[in-house]
Structures are given as structure tokens and as C-alpha cells.
Structure 1
Amino acid sequence: MRLISVALLAWLMAVPADAQNFDYPAEFKTQDIATNGATIHVRVGGAGPAVMLVHGYGETGDMWVPMAEDLARDHLVIVPDLRGLGLSSKPPGGFDKKTQAGDLAGVLDALKVDQTAIVAHDIGNMVAYAFAAQYPDRVSKLAVIDAPIPGIGPWEEVLKNPLLWHFRFGGPDMERLVAGRERIYLDRFWNEFSATPARFSEPAREHYAALYAMPGAMHSGFAQFAAFDQDAIDNQAFLANGKLKMPVLAVGGEKSFGPMMATVMRFAAEDVQEAVVPGSGHWIMEENPEATDQIVRSFLQ
């Protein structure tokens, strides 16, 4: 295992154990990029080969601060908020992952970036796969972390897991039930999908709960899941054209998907490397950011 990078070590020493820093370094600039029927909030910093970090549900691009700070030493780091989440706009539709892949393409076009590596987590995996399948020449490497891909590999078996009841939870009545109780709903994810729930700190919970309480955010979150059936259809069509050919790193939390991530991705990609984040559940950047950063940096290099 590589030694912890100087930048990441400095970040860990500066941030209390029970907190998480959501402020990107001053060198990172934020901008809102209008593209594909949405406005995507993006943070950009560093210089070198491009890498895009894509978040999932229950978080925003803020999850990547320590990794972004480390990678910016020798990469151009691009961190969007997915449509409907974080500080991106909340459009009425377009939450299928094929459309959201178009959002990422628009972001890269606006930044004049032809090719990038992509590191993704949770629903971000699904958007990243759809992007890599549609724009393979624009992806140098792909890392997907701890979530399955609709329609790929053992997807139907994954759907039978009772922990995933939220995949079918949505609609106007569910939105009314959760309105004003966003923190209660999200605590369920942060607790049940953690190896050690206390590592998802109280400041982090307050931070994300406030973002998901913004008008339209919970509706958008439910819509991300409601699109899974269409995503499965789209992904099967992508797969019919062949597996991904770029190098793929499949990462699972030791107490979550673990090596199953590699099993899933071997249905969709020809060149799959496997890694496991030790001691972590699903929330890899909260539960073991040092190991996650080391794994990703080793793959990118």
C-alpha cells in the first residue's frame, strides 16, 4: 500500500476526527455550466491530466474534498453536482443516467477537456458507466465505487435485497411524508450502509440534510431511483455494442459490496482491476478516506 500523500495527510491533521471539511482549497474555482437542459454546479482545480469525481445519493460533490485536494497536485480535478442535487439546478426530468451522462459531456465541452479519467461512487457509478459507454474515447480510465449498475450482471438479484427498498420508494405521497423530515430519511442510509455509523459525522449529516431539504432536491433524489428501469434498458443496449475497453477499477467497501463490485463490472468491461476499502461500509470517503485516496491514486498513476 502506498504511503499517505502529503496533501491528504495535511488535510487529515487539519480536520477534527468528528468533522469533515466541505471547503475546497482556494485554488478551486466554482462555476455553473448550463448544458443539456440543466445547470450543473462544478468545482475545478489543479493542472495536469483531467479526472472527474462523480458523487452519488445522500451526498454531493462536497464528499470529494480530501481526494480532490490530493489529486489536484498533479491533475486537473473536475467535481460536478449531479442534476437535481447539491447546487445544480432541479429540472423536472432527465434523471435517467443516459441523459445525465450528457450533462457530464456538456461540462467537459464547456471546460474544453477532450478526455478525462472518471472516479464515481453510488449513483455516480451509473452515470459514469453511461458516459463511458456513449463516449468511450473521452474516458482514459474509469473507477466505480460500491454500487451496482442497472441491468448489468446480477442486477435482478441485487434488487431482491430488502435493504434496497428505497429503490421503489417515491412519488408525491412519499415526498409529502419526507418533507421537513429529510434528516430522518437520510440518517437511515448513513446508518444502515456504514460499517461504523459514527464515522459519518454529525456535521456531515447536518450539511447534506440541509442541501437535500432545498426545494426540489428530494423530488430529484427520488427521480434518480425511479429511472432505474429505464437505465437498465439503456445499459443493456450499451452492452449489446460490446464491453468497455478502457481500464476499469471496481472498488467495494469491505463491509459493503467488497469484491462483488469487480464481479459486476466484469460483465460490462474487459479490463477490470479489483480493490477493497478496508474497514469501510458504503460511505468510503467518510469511513476510510486515506485508503480510498491511495487506491484511486495508484490506479490513476
Structure 2
Amino acid sequence: MAAMVSGFSPIRVRLPGHVINCVVAGQGPAVLLLHGWPQTAHAWREVVPLLADRYTVVAPDLPGFGASSRPDGGYDKRTVASTLARLMAALGLARYHLVGHDVGGQIAYPLAALYPESVRSLTFVEAGIPGLGDSLAAANPLTGGSWHFGFNMVPDLPEFLLAGRERGYLEFMFRRDTVGLYATGAIDDAAMDVYARALAAPGAVRATMGYYRALPIDIADNRELCAAGPLRVPALVVGARHGVGLGWLDTVQEAVADVTARWVEDCGHYVPEERPAELARLLTEAWQEGDSGDE
């Protein structure tokens, strides 16, 4: 697998039942960056260097993605969250800021709910919490959501239809959801190659679609976690003007007591690649006060 972040060599961390491929960079308070679908940790390639001068940044390939292992199951977000908590413990990072883009945001909520002593702050980038608020309508193509939720959830069919056509599917998705994809070079041919090779690897379509196929489990889990009461960790919701925007904001407000929302203008869904400097600025501004005097 190609280098995830230029200038930083990935490491492989062995956990029970998993091998997690990740970049660890910088020093200071820890930050865990969770990418979305259909990407890998390569999505953070421009953000990591902007944060690494002040933070210890961890950017893993999620289980099933990139060069991380692809187990047969366990892609419900609660299980993935537990794996990532073990990853941070293995790295010796007891407390950290948590940032999730897209599917990564769906993992971030149960991680913060199950391990509140570890999570210092919670950021959803173009993401929310399935099962809460109006999230079911947001994911339903009949009510304005994206058709790919249903397609990706169908057993076996994506594996069959995408075999040998992975790059075409990715190009369609990135072109649809990115502002000026080719004009800005936000996701250039080299990045597309990284994502296409990752999705074409044996078992990768099955594994990555597992995150969608687990949504019924996630919905039940999230409702159970939310019923225990709102999280007290500060949360930031970042929406792109030409992406999902703040359509999932109500789901976070239902689950977290202290929520702030910010817009990113002239940007599509893939904020870490389209507007990395602005995203890094929003994150560091949100973290600045809480970082003072901490480890």
C-alpha cells in the first residue's frame, strides 16, 4: 500500500484479532483522526502535517480499510470503537481529541460514549449519529439521502458489480461530492490510485461495505447509548456548504450536551482534502482552551 501521509512512515500495530496500519506523527496532546468511506488514512495527508507541530496525531486505516486487516465481521461501530480504543492504549495515549469524517464520525460517538475518560473532545466532520434525530431520513434516498447507503448494504451485489471497476465507482462518488474535483486537485490521480488499489484488494469491498451493512446494529446501539444520558465532552460539528452540511447536527445535539457548529464554505463532502488548512484551523481553535496545562 502506498504511503499514507508524505514524510511520515506508517506503523503496524497488532491487537487481538486485528492489525491496524496507522501514521503516528508529532508531539503534544494526542489526536485521533478517523477517515470516512471510501477512503483510508491517506485522506488526512494534508491535515496531519498541519497538526503535528503541536499534537501527537494518530491516523489509522480503519479496520477493513487500506492496509489494516479485514476480519470476517465486527464492523458495527461499537465494535470498531473498542478496537480503536485498544489501539490508542497500545500506543500509550490515554487521552485524546477525537475527529471523525463521514463513517469515522459514526465510530466517534460510541467511542466517546464507551470511553469517556479517554476522549477530550469530539468532532464530527460531515457526519452524525445514525438512529438519532432525523438521521434515518438523511440516509434514505426517498427523502433526500444518498442512494449509495442502500446499494452498499445489499449483501454480495457490490462485490460482484464492482470487481475490476473499483476506480470507476470511486471516481463517480468523488466527482459527485467534491467541489471542483479536477480543477482544485483536492483528490488527484495519485490519491485516486491509492483509494482504488485499496478497494480492489482482496476482501476490501466486503469489509468496507460491512460498515453500511452494520447500520441496523448501530442504530440500536446508539439509541441505547443515548438513553444513558448526554455526553459531557465538548463536541464540534463541521458541515460543508456543498456537502452533507449540518443535516446531521440534530443527531449530535440529542447525544451531547455541549455542541458547536461551524460551516466550511465552497467545499464539498471531503473536507480534509478540499479544505485541509481551514479544517486544521477549526480544530486547533476548538482545542486551544482545553489543551492548556494538560498532558
TM-score (norm 1): 0.88
- Stretch moving more, 275-284 or 155-164: 155-164
Give the counterpart of 2:22 among 37, 42, 55.
42
- C-alpha contact 1:278 1:288 (8 A) present in aligned 2: no
Aligned to 1:122: 102
Aligned to 1:286: 273
Q: What letter corresponds to residue 162 of structure 2 in structure 1?
A: V
Deviations 1:69-125 (A, max 9, x none): 111101111111110001100110010000000111110111111111011100000
Unpaired runs of 5+ residues, structure 2, are 289-295
CA distance in 2, matches of 1:257, 1:166: 14
Aligned to 2:62: 82
Aligned to 1:179: 163
- C-alpha contact 1:279 1:287 (8 A) present in aligned 2: no
Change (3 A) 1:61 1:131: same
CA distance in 2, matches of 1:273, 1:183: 36
CA distance in 1, matches of 2:272, 2:17: 30
Partner of 2:63, secondary structure, is: coil
CA distance in 1, matches of 2:5, 2:117: 32
- Stretch moving more, 247-256 or 144-153: 144-153
**How do residues 96-175 of structure 1 correspond to structure 2 at under 5 angstroms?**
96-162=76-142, 163-169=145-151, 170-175=154-159
Aligned to 1:270: 257
Give the counterpart of 1:204 among 167, 173, 191.
191
User: How many pairs were matched up?
Assistant: 279
Give the counterpart of 1:58 among 38, 56, 71.
38
- C-alpha contact 1:145 1:261 (8 A) present in aligned 2: no
- Residues 1:221 and 2:201 are matched in the alignment: no
Change (3 A) 1:286 1:29: closer
CA distance in 1, matches of 2:85, 2:16: 9
Q: What letter corresponds to residue 193 of structure 1 in structure 2?
A: D
Deviations 1:200-242 (A, max 9, x none): 3222212211111111111111111000110000000000111
Tell me the CA shift for residue 191 of structure 1. 1.5
Q: What letter corresponds to residue 65 of structure 2 in structure 1?
A: L
CA distance in 2, matches of 1:105, 1:35: 11
CA distance in 1, matches of 2:218, 2:5: 33
- C-alpha contact 2:5 2:44 (8 A) present in aligned 1: no
CA distance in 2, matches of 1:144, 1:239: 16
Tell me the CA shift for residue 134 of structure 1. 0.4
Tell me the CA shift for residue 36 of structure 1. 4.3
CA distance in 2, matches of 1:245, 1:239: 12
Q: What letter corresponds to residue 234 of structure 1 in structure 2?
A: D
Q: What letter corresponds to residue 194 of structure 1 in structure 2?
A: T
Tell me the CA shift for residue 22 of structure 1. 4.6
CA distance in 2, matches of 1:36, 1:131: 18
Aligned to 1:247: 234
CA distance in 1, matches of 2:125, 2:5: 23
Tell me the CA shift for residue 160 of structure 1. 2.3
Aligned to 1:194: 178
- Stretch moving more, 161-170 or 68-77: 161-170
- C-alpha contact 1:36 1:102 (8 A) present in aligned 2: no
Partner of 1:260, secondary structure, is: coil
CA distance in 1, matches of 2:245, 2:25: 31
Unpaired runs of 5+ residues, structure 1, are 1-20
- C-alpha contact 2:21 2:68 (8 A) present in aligned 1: yes
Identity of aligned residues (%): 34
Alpha carbon RMSD of aligned pairs, Å?
1.6
CA distance in 1, matches of 2:150, 2:254: 25
- C-alpha contact 2:76 2:214 (8 A) present in aligned 1: yes
CA distance in 2, matches of 1:261, 1:252: 9
- Residues 1:31 and 2:18 are matched in the alignment: no
Partner of 1:136, secondary structure, is: coil
